Amino acid sequence: MKNTVFLNTNREMPLLGLGVYKATGENEAERAIVSAVENGYRLIDTASVYKNEENVGRGIAQCGIPRSELFVTTKVWNTAQRLGDIRGAFERSLDRLKLDYVDLYLIHWPVPGCYLSTWKVLEEIQKSGRALSIGVSNFEIRHFEELAKVSDVVPAVNQIECHPLFYNKELIDYCQSRGIQVQAYAPLARGAYLDHDVFCVLGTKYCKTPAQIGLRWAVQKGFSVIPKSVHPDRIRSNADIFDFSIDQEDMDLLDTLNQNYRSASIPEDLRDVAF
Ligand SMILES: NC(=O)c1ccc[n+]([C@@H]2O[C@H](COP(=O)([O-])OP(=O)(O)OC[C@H]3O[C@@H](n4cnc5c(N)ncnc54)[C@H](OP(=O)(O)O)[C@@H]3O)[C@@H](O)[C@H]2O)c1
């Protein structure tokens, strides 16, 4: 299968990327990026709140791949939204990353009372050419409906927690019907399904690991996946998902495992209002 997708901006995005949340050890993100690029990854997903953009920038500079062949995502955090300092936050991210532009700039969370005005600034940033695509993360249908009242620019991506234990089909169908690319974060559910019977049985059937079964389920549905690892062996094996396909009956079986299980936490100050 093809391992890239075209966004509604007509920009091409790899289906597979490296997540670097919690890769904050000395040179950890840098080493992970170099290893990921060696293993075929071309997408790196960071965020200002991960506190590793400088290290990510060094990894990008060192990985030996021309900038134009990489797809770099970062995100604007909630504090900047509340302060109304989106442009400042964006400039600081570019400075830390040592980049002239990012491929994708996301609103990290739909902060109530802020995310609509944040989006209008992202539109300006995109027009300036320094974010080739703009999108959102952790948006529910009602956030998109509110956004559509103030903007004709449809987000290119919705980055959401997504894996077989948390399969929000209604939201995903909504995004897919509007040309919003779904990007699955925590696609390994941070390890929660790696010893699950169904994943182990399917792993044996397809000669793959449970992690590869979960990641393949997502890309086979057309979602981009951004598994995080700082270990070269895991980085390599998480990428080895494009040489097999899961039969429809097994895809259907995996679909039945949804239990709305969130492995990633919701920021404390959004818990009452975000969902
Ligand atoms: N937009 C958002 O709000 C949001 C929220 C959460 C995450 N994200 C993004 O999505 C990325 C991925 O999500 P995540 O990091 O939360 O969770 P994840 O990718 O589901 O899981 C990462 C965890 O699994 C381990 N791991 C990786 N590959 C493995 C393998 N093959 N076998 C066993 N364990 C493995 C990693 O440890 P090692 O590193 O030690 O290998 C790490 O502890 C993040 O890094 C971030 O870029 C975005």
Q: What is the mean pLDDT of residues 47-64?
A: 97
Is the C-alpha dihedral spanning 14, 72, 133, 78 positive or negative? positive
Nearest 5°: phi and psi at 218? -70, -50
Is the Cα dihedral 219, 224, 230, 235 positive or negative?
positive
pLDDT tens, position by position, 78-109: 999 999 999 999 999 999 999 999 999 999 99
- pTM to 2 decimal places: 0.98
Distance CA 73, CA 94 (A): 11
Q: For 169, phi and psi rounded to 5 degrees? A: -65, -40
Rounded to 10°, the helix 115-127/86-97 angle is: 50
Which DSSP letter does residue 26 get?
T
**207-263 per-position pLDDT tens digit:** 999 999 999 999 999 999 999 999 999 999 999 999 999 999 999 999 999 999 999
Active site residues: 50
Res 268 pLDDT > 90: no
Kindly indicate the confidence band of residue 274, based on its pLDDT and cuts at 50, 70 and 90: low
Q: Mean pLDDT, to the nearest integer, of 3-16?
A: 98
Residue 44: name the closest of 34, 54, 33, 53 by CA: 33
Q: Give CA–CA dist 67/59, Å, rounded.
A: 12
- Mutate which of 73, 115, 199, 228 to test ligand 1's pocket (most atoms within 8 Å of Cβ)? 228
Instruction: Say if residue 272's pLDDT is above 90.
Output: no
User: Are residues 134 and 125 in contact, defined by beta-carbon separation less than 8 angstroms?
Assistant: yes
- Of the CA atoms within 13 Å of residue 125, those in its CB half-sphere come to 31
Tracing tokens 């086979």 back to the chain, one arrives at 220
One-character DSSP codes across 42-67: -EEE--GGGT-HHHHHHHHHHS-S-G
Contact yes or no for 227/217 (Cβ under 8 A) = no
Backbone angles phi, psi at 74, to 5 degrees: -135, 175
What's the whole-number average pLDDT of the chain? Answer: 97
What's the pLDDT at 1? 85
Q: Which residues line ligand 1 (CB under 6 A)?
A: 19-21, 45, 108, 137-138, 159, 185-191, 194, 211, 226-231, 234, 237-238, 264
Report the atom number in ligand 1 closest to the C-alpha of 47: 47
Quote the CA–CA distance of 210 and 215 in Å, as a whole number.
9
Say if CB 247 and CB 217 are below 8 A apart: no
170 vs 179: CA distance, rounded Å: 15
Q: How far is the CA of 128 from the centre of ligand 1 (A)?
A: 32
Q: What pLDDT score was predicted for residue 269?
A: 83
Give the amino acid at 79: T
Mutate to test the pocket of ligand 1, among 24, 77, 185, 238 (most ligand atoms within 8 A of CB): 185
Residues 133 and 56: their CA atoms lie apart, in Å, by 19
Over the stretch 22-34, which tens digit does the pLDDT of each residue have? 999 999 999 999 9
4-6 vs 12-14, strand pairing mode? antiparallel
> 114-147: per-residue pLDDT in tens?
999 999 999 999 999 999 999 999 999 999 999 9
